[in-house]
Amino acid sequence: MKETLAPPTPETIACFHALSEPLRVQVIELLRYQELCVCELCDHLGTSGSKLSFHLKILKEAGLVRSRQQGRWIYYSLNLSQFLVIEEYIATYRRFSSILPARPCNE
């Protein structure tokens, strides 16, 4: 009997949406190593605070980043448990795929 994959949850879809924007992926890469405040992220990315705030909001809504306030600064860090959710979802394709290993498209 062939097993079927469960459809992605709204949370999983939100994560993929959040990771579909290059600037948001850059934010994730910067946060991989340490917690950063908005001003530090702006400096690294060369973008305005208002533009970055929009992208941070999407990352937070997807559960990929966390924030904490210290004084007047807001610091952001990765929410690694949400990355495990994405990893587990992607792993289902490996477990249930009948086409392994995949061939390059140009063959």
Domains of the chain: 10-95 (1.10.10.10)
Contact residues for 56 (Cβ-Cβ < 8 A; gap 6+)? 27, 38, 41, 65, 67, 76
Cα of 106 vs its chain's centroid, Å: 29
Question: Looking at residues 47-55, what average pLDDT do you find?
Answer: 94
Question: Looking at residues 84-96, what average pLDDT do you find?
Answer: 84
pTM of the model: 0.82
Task: Point out which residues pair with 70 in neighbouring strands.
Answer: 73
With cut-offs at 50, 70 and 90, classify the pLDDT of residue 27: very high
With cut-offs at 50, 70 and 90, classify the pLDDT of residue 1: very low
Look up residue 5 and give its DSSP letter: P
With cut-offs at 50, 70 and 90, classify the pLDDT of residue 91: confident
Inter-CA distances, 38 with 45, 54, 60, 90, Å: 10, 12, 13, 30
Q: Is the pLDDT of residue 61 over 50?
A: yes
Give the separation between CA 83 and CA 72, rounded to whole angstroms.
28
Strands 65-70 and 36-37: unpaired
Q: Is the pLDDT of residue 84 over 50?
A: yes
